[in-house]
Amino acid sequence: MEANRRTGKTVHGTLVALGNDGVLLRGPSGSGKSDLALRLIIPPSPWSLVSDDQVVLSRDADEVTGRAPASIAGKLEVRGIGIVPWPVRDAAVIRLIVDLVPRQDVPRMPEPDHSAKLLTVAIPCVRLHAFDASTPAKIAVLLLGAVQRQ
């Protein structure tokens, strides 16, 4: 294994992807990770689910990739319904982290170039409220900007 490649760290979160570009949704239980993911991935959306609830990270050079642990691959928790089978993408490169917070904790004008580290790689990070109707659109805009900066 190369010195710049690390694998196997598992984080609490939900990973969705637009093509190969992933968005890691983080937040405490009940913050809306799975609900927001469902709104992003419901067909005919171009978004796909990679993993719900836990994400296994690996690093290769300056990219962090996320996958589902085998035990939960292909499953999505839908509050009020239960755990349902869902088609998934095998993996995605994490380009954006969204920390889900209460509405009053979303900054009106966030710091430019705010980032968080995954496996020592800095990744753009924002705070949003999962249950705002515009949040899926905000994530799409943010991901487009993150990918263009690559």
Catalytic positions: 12, 33, 53, 108
Alpha carbons 118 and 95: distance in angstroms, whole number: 11
Alpha carbons 33 and 15: distance in angstroms, whole number: 9
58 burial class (0-12, 13-18, 19+ CB within 10 angstroms)?
A: middle
Q: Cα–Cα distances in Å, from 18 out to 2, 82, 139?
A: 28, 25, 11
Helix (H) or strand (E) holding 147: helix 135-148
CB 56 within 8 A of CB 10: yes
